Amino acid sequence: MPEFCEVERDGHVLTVTIARPEVMNAIHPPTSAELARAFDEFAADPELWVAIVTGKGDKAFSAGNDLKYQAKGGKLSWPASGFGGLTARFDLAKPLIAAVNGLAMGGGFEIVLSCDIVVAAETAVFALPEPRVGLAALAGGMQRLPRQIPLKHAMGMLLTGRRVTAEEGMRFGFVNEVVPAGQALAGARRWADAILECSPVSVRTSKAVALQSLAYPSLQEALAARYDATVELVRSEDYVEGPRAFAEKRKPNWKNR
């Protein structure tokens, strides 16, 4: 059993909880290793279609890198999939939802930015404060934030380390929904249930094509590109089942293949 995270399976949904509330769910290498294993298993299991990541307690999603562990001489090493097992996981085809229950700082915010959908409690706070302690957001924050929100907002956060509320995060564009305090996980589950109504292969295709198309400098090139995920979709059983169910006025029986 993992020591620093909790993993719960409910149907097609996997919920992974960072479980170090005594240190605001700060992440040290053993935590990252456990999270990496959890998301490896999620990626490999065909019966798991959506994952939610959250933090234990009501104060913090994650305070990021455990600086006290580092200051005491703890060796820093991260899995190939990145900080928290997510920030360098570029091949995850399935949707990932962040349920931000509180503080999301530094590496904790970088994990949030690695997710596809973000549900934040109204008490959530986001920041990349690394410059305030002579560091930098090396787990993708400097690259992801300017790609997800307007550049001036991104630079305002990156160059000052200032804290941004959940409402500001929604205005900036990196938060999908703000919910009452204590409701982040429930809100994330509503999003997960909405995803589960869709064909899993269609969802995977949509995520893959949307992200891969960003590599092309023009819309024309992106539209003309060939995407392996689209080929998989056209060959899938769901590609036939969806229109058939619509015509027969019944709920689709998705096969995930």
Residues 92, 191 within the same domain: yes
Task: State the residue range of the domain holding 173.
Answer: 5-196
The span from the CA of 60 to the CA of 125, in Å, is 9
Angle, helices 238-247 vs 228-235, to 10°: value is 50
Q: For 111-139, what is each residue's pLDDT tens digit? A: 999 999 999 999 999 999 999 989 999 99
User: In this structure, are residues 116 and 97 in contact, taking their beta carbons and an 8 Å threshold?
Assistant: yes
Residue 103 lies in a domain: yes
Count of structural domains within the chain: 2
- 232: annotated active-site residue: no
Q: For 12-43, what is each residue's pLDDT tens digit? A: 999 999 999 999 999 999 999 999 999 999 99
Residue 254 lies in a domain: no
- 110: annotated active-site residue: yes
- For residue 152 the two structure tokens come to 């001036």
Q: How many CA atoms lie within 13 A of 225 on its CB side?
A: 19
CA 17, distance to chain mean position in Å, is: 12
- Catalytic pick among 110, 168, 177, 221: 110
Residue 257 lies in a domain: no
Band (71; pLDDT cuts 50, 70, 90): confident
- pLDDT of 77 reads 81
Mean pLDDT over residues 163-182, rounded? 98
- Catalytic pick among 22, 34, 130, 167: 130
The span from the CA of 184 to the CA of 148, in Å, is 21
Residue 74: pLDDT over 70: no
- Residue at which a domain ends, from 157, 177, 196: 196
Q: What is the mean pLDDT of the chain?
A: 95
Residues paired with residue 104 on neighbouring β-strands, in sequence order: 62, 126
Residue 253 lies in a domain: no
- pLDDT of 133 reads 87
CATH number reported for the structural domain that contains residue 115 in this entry: 3.90.226.10
Residue 20 lies in a domain: yes
Q: How far is CA 18 from CA 82, 96, 117, 181, in A?
A: 15, 15, 18, 18
Query: pTM of the predicted model, to two decimals?
Result: 0.95
Q: How far is CA 111 from CA 108, 118, 177, in A?
A: 5, 11, 17
- pLDDT of 2 reads 87
